[in-house]
Amino acid sequence: MLLRPFLNDAGSCASYLFGCTTHSKLAVVDAHADLVDEYLAAAAAIGSPIVAVFETHVQADHVSGLPALVERTGATAYLPAGTQVEFDHVALGDGDLVELGNTVVTAIATPGHAPAHNAYTVTDRRRGDEEPWIVFSGDSLLIGDVGRPDLHVAGDARGQARLLHASLRRLLELPDYVVLHPSHYGGSVCGRGLSGNPFSSIGFERRHNPLLAIEDPDAFADALLRDVPPRPVEQGRIVAANRAGKLGVPA
């Protein structure tokens, strides 16, 4: 299996090109509009097309590169079930699979940062087992932190925080060795105490992420809603563009 991270320091956003080169099927997770040419150049250099684009949720801090990638490659768009978007896509519910040759993607419903949010585990059949190797956690589990619950709701951030607490417990059911690839790192407004290291593992976060140590959902919500940072600049217009599948932020 191939995996290439793309880090955009302007907004501390991480996205990923991955997939099966044996069967020439690549995908991108949480594509950034500013990096579309780079994904395409990397895929061309590898010699395999991008056939799928996954979103963990509707982004609030940057314009998604999904519409441009779909337009330029004919790739299939995959989003969490219940995502209210205005363009053609395949909705993935909890446990749904997408096969990319020897690479198998499994959706895990992880609401909380957003009402419709998926993490995606990835299994490489060439490794000889069905155990997941990596997890793309989106904005649910971050490095040293978790996603904020207030960006995608109006007035029910506490309820979203409780949902996130349950979602994180699901991610902690994964083996410790699973490599964690979130969609943000230090500097992002989607969390408060994110590490500058963009990658981790389930086991390391289990041991060192202070928010994962909070067992009580109400105490977790209290901690998460304390000292919340400002919302992303242009959030409303960015979300509207991403829901509509626009190639840029409308004026």
Which of 162-179 are b and which e, b meaning 16 or more Cβ less than 10 Å from the residue's Cβ? Answer: bbbbebbeebeebeeebb
Q: Indicate whether 6 pLDDT > 50.
A: yes
Could you tell me what percent of the chain has a pLDDT over 90? Answer: 82
What CATH number is associated with residue 65? Answer: 3.60.15.10
Residues 171-223: tens digit of each pLDDT? 999 999 999 999 998 877 777 777 788 999 999 999 999 999 999 999 999 99
Could you give the dihedral angle defined by the CA atoms of residues 139, 141, 143 and 146, in that order, rounded to the nearest 10 degrees?
A: 80
In a domain, 19, yes or no: yes
In a domain, 250, yes or no: no
Structural domain for 176, as ranges: 2-244
Cα angle, residue 174 at apex, residues 169 and 176 outer, rounded to 5° = 110
How many structural domains compose the chain? 1
Strand, helix or coil at 88? coil
Terminal CA-CA length for the chain: 41
DSSP state of 143: S
In a domain, 231, yes or no: yes
Q: Indicate whether 248 pLDDT > 70.
A: no
Residue that has been written with the tokens 């902690």 in this structure = 172
Residues 118-153: tens digit of each pLDDT? 999 999 998 867 789 999 999 999 999 999 999 888
Q: Indicate whether 247 pLDDT > 80.
A: no
In a domain, 251, yes or no: no
Nearby residues of 108 by Cβ (< 8 Å), 6 or more positions away: 94, 95, 118, 119, 120, 121, 135, 170, 171
In a domain, 240, yes or no: yes
In a domain, 135, yes or no: yes
pLDDT at 185: 87
pLDDT at 233: 80
